[in-house]
């Protein structure tokens, strides 16, 4: 093989890798990371190449009662391009099923926290486990069926200490199990640590 053909083969291989990655980014992408790891920044950079995008915020709306949370929400809003549409909802399944443009969901951790509240997990209302399972299965089915590019951000909760409270352990276990299942049916899973991105095979 001549130097020229060898160089051409390397260029073609690099192009093929880029095309494979591009097509995976056009599918379903799960981005995991700890608090302040940079996972949302990475998701927003990945999503920014789409000319039309819906940003799905399933967390609690900001309120004067929690200024720290309000400041976090404000920082996220300030980073979003003005042409992005924002939807604030916990009905992720319906959003996934009706989407006509790419989606960025940020994040599954805040969504799970609200869903646990909605199904009565925190006060142990009878039947909360079944109601939770129904919500999760509905979301997972919609995730698999989505025919637009979707990026979901989620907290990696399996590396820290065991939570001291029952509610903390329930949240960790439910979100950890959900992350596993979403990752299994995603085209790409990325772990973000200290601002560095690692593709998980």
Q: Which two tokens stand for residue 162?
A: 């065991």
Q: Is 158 annotated as a binding residue?
A: no
Q: Is 167 annotated as a binding residue?
A: no
Model pLDDT, residue 16 = 53
Model pLDDT, residue 23 = 47
Q: Is 33 annotated as a binding residue?
A: yes
Per-residue pLDDT tens listing for the chain (201 residues): 577 776 777 767 656 554 444 445 679 999 999 988 999 999 999 999 998 999 999 987 766 777 886 777 777 777 777 889 999 999 999 999 999 999 999 999 999 999 999 999 999 999 999 999 999 999 999 999 999 999 999 999 988 777 888 889 999 999 999 999 999 999 999 999 999 999 998
What is the set of active-site residues?
Answer: 76
Q: Is 25 annotated as a binding residue?
A: no
Model pLDDT, residue 17 = 53
Q: Which of 113, 121, 109 is nearest to 152 (CA)?
A: 109
Model pLDDT, residue 73 = 72
Instruction: Give the 3-state secondary structure of residue 100.
Output: coil
DSSP 118-171: HTTTTTT-TTHHHHHHHHHHHHHHHHHH--S-EEEEEE--SSSPPPSSHHHHHH
What's the whole-model pTM score?
0.82
Where do the domains of the chain lie, and which CATH numbers do they carry?
24-200 (3.40.50.300)
Planar angle of CA 112, 105, 174, nearest 5 degrees = 20
DSSP 22-55: HHHHTSEEEEEE-TTSSHHHHHHHHHTT-SS-EE
Model pLDDT, residue 25 = 60
């Amino acid at each position: 093989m001549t130097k020229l053909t060898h160089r051409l083969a390397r260029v073609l291989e690099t192009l093929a890798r880029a095309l494979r990655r591009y097509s995976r980014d056009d599918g379903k992408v799960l981005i995991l990371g700890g608090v302040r790891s940079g996972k949302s920044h990475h998701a927003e950079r990945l999503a920014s190449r789409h000319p039309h995008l819906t940003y799905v915020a399933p967390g609690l709306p900001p309120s004067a009662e929690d200024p720290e949370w309000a400041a976090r929400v404000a920082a996220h809003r300030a980073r979003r391009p003005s042409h992005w549409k924002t939807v604030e909802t916990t009905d992720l399944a319906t959003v996934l099923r009706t989407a006509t443009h790419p989606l960025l969901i940020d994040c599954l951790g805040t969504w799970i926290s609200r869903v646990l509240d909605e199904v009565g997990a925190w006060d142990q209302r009878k039947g909360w486990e079944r109601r939770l399972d129904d919500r999760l299965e509905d979301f997972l089915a919609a995730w698999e069926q989505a025919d637009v590019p979707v990026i979901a951000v989620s907290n990696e909760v399996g590396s820290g200490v065991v939570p001291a409270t029952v509610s903390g352990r329930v949240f960790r276990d439910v979100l950890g199990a959900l992350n596993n299942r979403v990752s299994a049916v995603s085209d790409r899973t990325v772990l973000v640590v200290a601002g560095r991105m690692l593709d998980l095979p």
